[in-house]
Structure 1
Amino acid sequence: MDVTTRQTPPAPARAPRAPRRQETVWSAGLALAVFAAVRGAGALVIAVGAWWAGRNPVRVLGGSWDSYWYLSIAAHGYGRTQMWPASDSIQSDSAFFPLFPLLVHLLGGGPVAGLVVAWTAAAAAAVGVYRVGERLLGPRAAVLLVALWASLPHAVVLGLAYTEPLLCALASWALYALLRERWLWAASLAVLAGLTRPTGIAVAAAVSVVALRELLRGSRAPAVWAAGLLAPAGWAGYVAAVGIRRHEWLGYFTVQRQWGSRFDFGAGTVGVVDKVLTGGDVTIPVAVTVATLAAAVLLAVLLLLDRAPLALLVYTATLLVITLGGAGFFESKPRFLLPAFPLLLPLAAAMARARPRTAVVVTACMAGLSYGYGAYLTLMAKVPL
């Protein structure tokens, strides 16, 4: 598979553009319908499981784990700190970036508003993932790309009031804008991505590196300069704001360390993997996380061998470095990689060449496993998502 470019056959002379536009709209609609069916069924499984367990489904979907912090920020602003003397942990809400709670606040706050923002963003992300796949691989593979992405083990997060759906939406459309050389659109979306999650810096990295390449090639377009310089502004702006508020230049990273998160160049990840491989006592989420990380590394190698566009390589590599190199909340690492949808491009290309029945069976099996694991994480597991 060569995902660098895709040849499009010439359209009929009488209507040079309409057929391709109609095909794209129809296929994008199909991709959105597939995504809605897969994740809608997943949300239904969670809701039924919560109801059966005597829990409020809306609270489970819209107010679990990190959602609690985002809803608190949306309702009361920043300033909440929770201390755990037993583990020497100080949890400040400054660790959470502001765009998602701001959008929730604008919709009135509460779990329902959080779900509306998340589900709307997830739908936008599905179309964005499709457009990237369609441009590189064609409509059929792009629909399969969306189906695979919606069926990942941690795809349950796409139906929760979390920030991953919003980051996925901004990242996918920013990458699509880069592939079309829409520099200011890409940079603007990168700024918003940087205000969404710490890993939003991956979008800015993609924009800035591709802009730098164009400048080294001799481009002097003002839009390229502007994009390269503007892209990191959202992420850098929030990190600087936390530092100013705490009277400490690296205050944001202090907040992260107090939560138990730090960058240790992969030492913690290697230690957990070694424990799993040597037969140590591990939980289901830890085992699934190790398998997910291994699959991600393998798919990253395939993506590199397939000569993917530089923007996708930089974006994906940045997410992998942050995820593999970070310590703390090991079971959450697959969630951190959920926005790394370009990793699925080689698999989607292979499935597009297979028989339709094979693609359906593979996707259905993945979705079924995703439903079961998602229900386990949200309703049974005692570890953070």
Structure 2
Amino acid sequence: MTDLATRPAPLLLSRAAPALLGYAAVRALGLVALAVWSAARDKSAHTLLSARWDSLWYVRVADLGYGYEVRLPNGDVHSNLAFFPLLPWLERAVSAVTSLSYADAGLVVSTLASLTAAWGIFAVADHVYAEKKARSAALEGRWWETGGRVGVCAVLVWAVLPVGIVQSMAYSESLFTALAAWALYAVLTGRWVAAGTLAAFAGLTRPVGLAVVAAVWVAALAPSFVRDRRVPEPNGAPAWRRALGMLLAPVGAAGYVLWVGHRTGKGPLGYLDVQAGWRNGFDGGYAFARFVADKFTSFPSALAGVGLVVGVGLVVWLYVVGVRQGQPLPLLVYTGVVVALALCASSYFGSKPRLLMPAFPLLLPLARALATPRTTRSASALGAVAVASALYGAFWLNGSGPP
């Protein structure tokens, strides 16, 4: 009998079909809300999605390569070297094949990547929550009797996040989440070379690719030292495959960072100088804590401060619940690094919800809870949140927008 971990791609895709259809519906709702809201304000929804904020920087990399920078009156230097290259490379490739503009090519990449990310999230949740006694039911297509229902809910919860509209923008979050989710699935199923390769590509997408590298390394090394049900077994894979996966995983991030250091003439730490020009850094959360504390100096802003405290508390609580529910160690390591880099960075504070988006394992406890009631009850709850998320996304992009 075929094992759940070795299912062919067509079977995986057929099991994920309900999740992907639901995801597409949520994203379509968000786009319709954005189009209507933007038209009412005489703005272009297309421009908001493809040619604003970070999207412009990715387009410039695709069009002009690296070397473009903006010098601000206060002396800060915003260099496009801060943006990792995989998304611009893909924009250039799609543009060359289709003759689309780089901005529109970015939307194509983001759309396909978001669907791939949704599929990967389903695959991870399905694998984690599928019980051994239900394997035969899974192979016969009765996905609701296994982790399939949790997988569908996980994908829909990810889709209805308040900042979910970013999944439809020419940003790198969807691309990174797709690579991270499938890298984690490869780790959980013992496909070490694939895991290392996907981790390398994730490292070419965003600095937080380090989280995927950490997950691969922990998964490869931990079974040699501990025996814990949260650590996936190596599935009989030869040691050289695990070693090769570990070697491949950091190639993308390390390669780009070293190249930037060489390009700037500042050695291995050159990328940190580039980020410093954007006022980005890692201070252990000190700047963010001060930002939250400052909100309590007046009554109106104190409400926002309470919201921030509740939001951070919710993130920590979901992580603790994941630990208690026995999530596999690679997922916990990956999520922990993503959360730490997001909350403890001194960058623009409004970006933190967006930076937390790839931490999808945080949503698995919520998905598990939604998978237990009747389908109509879960569908009603998710539908209501989807509408609220669509309206918020339209309001957000027509206002301050994603930093």
Fold match by TM threshold 0.5: yes
Question: 1:6 — aligned with what?
Answer: none
Residue 206 (structure 2) pairs with residue 197 (structure 1): yes
Question: 2:105 — aligned with what?
Answer: 113
Q: 1:148 to 1:327 in 2, by over 3 A?
A: same
Q: 1:37 to 1:296 in 2, by over 3 A?
A: same
Residue 190 (structure 2) pairs with residue 181 (structure 1): yes
Whether contact under 8 Å (1:89, 1:259) holds in the other structure is yes
Aligned AA (1:163): S
Residue 117 (structure 2) pairs with residue 125 (structure 1): yes
Instruction: Decide which of 244, 252, 262 is 1:234's aligned counterpart.
Output: 252
Whether contact under 8 Å (1:292, 1:334) holds in the other structure is no
Q: 1:292 to 1:304 in 2, by over 3 A?
A: same
Question: 2:168 — aligned with what?
Answer: 159
Question: 2:155 — aligned with what?
Answer: 146
The separation in 2 between residues aligned to 1:22 and 1:234, in whole angstroms, is: 29
Query: Which stretch has the larger CA shift, 285-294 or 53-62?
Result: 285-294
Q: How does 1:1-385 map to 2 (within 5 A)?
A: 24-86=12-74, 88-108=75-95, 109-137=101-129, 138-216=147-225, 221-249=239-267, 250-277=269-296, 279=298, 282=301, 290-381=309-400, 384-385=402-403
Q: 1:111 to 1:288 in 2, by over 3 A?
A: farther
How far residue 120 of structure 1 moved from its aligned partner, in angstroms, is: 0.4
The separation in 1 between residues aligned to 2:304 and 2:253, in whole angstroms, is: 30
The separation in 2 between residues aligned to 1:125 and 1:20, in whole angstroms, is: 18
The separation in 1 between residues aligned to 2:194 and 2:8, in whole angstroms, is: 23
TM-score using structure 2 length = 0.86
Aligned AA (1:107): V
The separation in 1 between residues aligned to 2:54 and 2:303, in whole angstroms, is: 21
C-alpha RMSD of the superposition: 2.5
The separation in 2 between residues aligned to 1:139 and 1:202, in whole angstroms, is: 26
How far residue 48 of structure 1 moved from its aligned partner, in angstroms, is: 2.3
Aligned AA (1:372): L
Question: 1:4 — aligned with what?
Answer: none
Aligned AA (1:275): D
Query: Which stretch has the larger CA shift, 342-351 or 359-368?
Result: 359-368
| Secondary structure in 1 matching 2:190 | coil
Question: 1:7 — aligned with what?
Answer: none
Query: Which stretch has the larger CA shift, 356-365 or 90-99?
Result: 356-365
How far residue 376 of structure 1 moved from its aligned partner, in angstroms, is: 2.0
Gaps of 5+ in 2: 96-100, 130-146, 228-233
Percent identity of the aligned residues?
Answer: 38
Q: How many residues align?
A: 369
For residues 209-251 of structure 1, what are the alpha-carbon distances to aligned partners after superposition, in whole Å with 9 as ceiling and x for unaligned? Answer: 1112134469861011111222111111111110000111211
The separation in 1 between residues aligned to 2:294 and 2:202, in whole angstroms, is: 35
For residues 1-60 of structure 1, what are the alpha-carbon distances to aligned partners after superposition, in whole Å with 9 as ceiling and x for unaligned? Answer: xxxxxxxxx99xxxx99x999875443011000000001110121122222322222211
How far residue 293 of structure 1 moved from its aligned partner, in angstroms, is: 2.7
For residues 339-363 of structure 1, what are the alpha-carbon distances to aligned partners after superposition, in whole Å with 9 as ceiling and x for unaligned? Answer: 1100011111111112222211221
The separation in 2 between residues aligned to 1:215 and 1:68, in whole angstroms, is: 46
Q: 1:372 to 1:293 in 2, by over 3 A?
A: farther
The separation in 2 between residues aligned to 1:285 and 1:278, in whole angstroms, is: 11
How far residue 115 of structure 1 moved from its aligned partner, in angstroms, is: 0.2
The separation in 2 between residues aligned to 1:123 and 1:20, in whole angstroms, is: 18
Gaps of 5+ in 1: 1-9
Whether contact under 8 Å (1:60, 1:378) holds in the other structure is yes
Whether contact under 8 Å (1:293, 1:334) holds in the other structure is no
